[in-house]
Amino acid sequence: MSSQWALDTDLVGKGEGAKYLGLVNLVVAGGGALARLIGPVIDFFNSYSPNLGYSVMFLFCFICFVVGSLLLIKVKGQRLTKVG
């Protein structure tokens, strides 16, 4: 979570922090609320086959990881130069 906020604060332009960091806060809070729905989804798939729900959950997490990684490819930030 701290690395996410560090990345977010690095990407926000000067004078636009309130707008964009507020939006990030809404997304993080919304994601936490949506995470509560995974229990019934796991139970639904476990009713078909033992532990199938957990496999579906890990597959969904993997897909989210890949999509998030692909979205970050286009992000351009400032390059740090080594001093000295």
Split into its structural domains, the chain has a count of 2
Whether 57 and 17 map to the same domain: the answer is: no
Whether 42 and 73 map to the same domain: the answer is: yes
Q: Give me the percent of the chain exceeding a pLDDT of 70.
A: 89
Distance CA 60, CA 69 (A): 14
Residue 59: which pLDDT band, with cuts at 50, 70 and 90?
very high
Q: In 12-79, which ranges are continuous DSSP H helix?
A: 17-35, 38-46, 52-73
In this model, does residue 55 exceed pLDDT 80?
yes
Whether 13 and 29 map to the same domain: the answer is: yes
The pLDDT of residue 84 is 54
The pLDDT of residue 43 is 92
For the segment 24-52, the average pLDDT, to the nearest whole number, is: 85
Q: What is the dihedral of CA 40, 43, 47, 50, to 10 degrees?
A: 160
Domain membership of residue 20 as a residue range: 1-36
Whether 32 and 43 map to the same domain: the answer is: no
Question: By three-state DSSP, how is residue 80 classified?
Answer: coil
